[in-house]
């Protein structure tokens, strides 16, 4: 059973439907105490970093999530659900994240629009899998595929070992996926990435870190 975290933001319906189509059984969870019931946890998200972290903290879901991840529960973060794993975000000031993956969330260069690269970065783009540590089993179905992105900020993990996949917007590289241990998170939207995204979600359901 997959616990899909509901903190009042995000595209829960489309993520839930994609997980079900990939073969999972999904329940929305907004109660911190209930999070321990689930075999796998997914944190989706669209919107502002500060609001997301604040919503998780106000319900105690931040502490419950950290407890479940420390216990080894497989976890998938999607888009904003990836960014809040970082230490700090520079979106609308300086805001603290969950601190589960050391690093920062930064804006694309201010010069990007003047050079023809609109912000947000939106649409289909590459996902270049890192072979430094071996291709991550959840991301393996994405080899040679493109996926769908919508974001104005990107993650910059401190530890190169946490970088699982990359992409470039214009000539500017950024993290497409990060992870460690039982945590994997992606900047793109697998629920909008058609066949490739469903294959990745199916791999997450079979993953045993």
Which are the catalytic amino acids? 79, 189, 191
Pure H helices in 71-157: 80-83
E strand intervals along 90-143: 95-96, 101-107, 121-126, 128-129
59/49 Cα distance (integer angstroms): 16
Question: Which of 89, 78, 103 lies closest to 160 in space, CA to CA?
Answer: 103
Helices (H) and strands (E) in the chain, counts: 5, 14
Question: Which of 75, 64, 56, 57 lies closest to 7 in space, CA to CA?
Answer: 56
Using CA atoms, how far residue 28 sits from 43, 48, 152, 182, 205, in Å, is 10, 21, 27, 21, 16
Report residue 155 CA to chain centroid gap.
Answer: 10
177/139 Cα distance (integer angstroms): 9
């Amino acid at each position: 059973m997959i616990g899909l975290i509901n903190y009042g933001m995000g595209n829960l319906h489309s993520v839930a439907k994609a997980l079900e189509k990939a073969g999972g059984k999904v329940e929305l969870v907004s109660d911190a105490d209930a999070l321990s019931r689930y075999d796998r946890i997914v944190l989706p998200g669209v919107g502002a970093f500060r609001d997301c972290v604040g919503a998780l903290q106000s319900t105690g879901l931040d502490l419950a999530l950290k407890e479940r991840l420390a216990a080894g529960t497989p976890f998938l973060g999607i888009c904003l659900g990836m960014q809040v794993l970082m230490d700090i975000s520079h979106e609308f000031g300086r805001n603290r994240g969950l601190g589960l993956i050391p690093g920062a969330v930064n804006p694309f260069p201010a010069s990007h629009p003047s050079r023809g690269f609109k912000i947000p970065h939106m649409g289909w783009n590459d996902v270049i899998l890192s072979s430094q540590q071996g291709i991550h089993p959840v991301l393996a179905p994405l080899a040679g595929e493109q996926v769908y992105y919508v974001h104005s900020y990107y993650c910059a993990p401190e530890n190169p070992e946490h970088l699982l996949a990359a992409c470039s917007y214009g000539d500017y590289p950024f993290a497409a996926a990060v992870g460690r241990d039982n945590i994997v998170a992606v900047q793109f939207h697998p629920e909008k990435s058609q066949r490739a995204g469903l294959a990745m979600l199916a791999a997450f359901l079979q993953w045993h870190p």
